[in-house]
Structure 1
Amino acid sequence: MQGRCYCGEIRYEVTEAPVMKAQCHCRECQYISGGGPNFFMAVPEGGFAVTQGMPKTFTRSDLDTPRTRQFCGTCGTHLTTLLPGRPLVIVKVGTLDNPAEDYGGSKLAIFMKDRQPYHVVAEGLPCFEDLPPAPPPAGS
């Protein structure tokens, strides 16, 4: 899978399968998306690489475990989010070259507690007020 920012200055590729395809309705994602839910896929960090350009980063300094947001310094496109202590890259679906084929649609919706009345969620999509429960450890 490949993707880019709006102006094309930054390009990336994803070489490993996503471990999650979802939409997030948290208030923070609403700021980043401009008001709607954030459609994303989480990929292993070893399966993500910037292939052209260098994204700028933003990390809030007032939070205990802030996320780092990567974006194009020229056009402002939000490309990824990095989670502290998690070996994942959160890729913003709108930046994929072929989102319909590569993403295909959300498998769940998270942080529904912050959902706005105008946010649309597909009928039958599993929804969680916060994050879904973690799967049990292997071998348990």
Structure 2
Amino acid sequence: MQSNRRVQLPALAQEYVVDDGEDAIVHWNYDAGSQFVFISRSPARKSEYRYADWNVVDGYPGENARIRAPGKLPDAVVERFEVEGTHVVFLASAEMLSDDNPSAWVLSWTQFMRMFPEIDDEGPDEDVGELVSRNPGFMPSSPF
């Protein structure tokens, strides 16, 4: 996490999730029940998701591309993006990326680690991708 709720956007997310029309933008949405945040190419369409806002991707395309968590997210959600230095995890399944509205979850390191209660605070002893793939319910619901 960088200052002013800015988050570096990985290349894979840039490739799939950014709407690179006139301006390169992402849309910020959240799961109303879990308060988990996800970004998408266009606003979320399912009723259980809430749309917060969109913003331009600064430095797009490139390794310094950044997005900013909007202040229109619920206060409890915005607070997770206000601690500079916090690690952020972008998480998406192949289905999320290939959907007609590609999306990716944007999780704090704490949210991510809570999905795997068997792991201690120092991190997993095995490949994270393998852990996620063995846990089909790794997210409360899918945004598509």
Q: Under a length normalisation based on structure 1, what TM-score does the superposition of the two structures give?
A: 0.28
Give me the TM-score of the superposition, normalised by structure 2: 0.28
Q: Higher strand fraction: Structure 1 or Structure 2? A: 1
More helix by share: 2
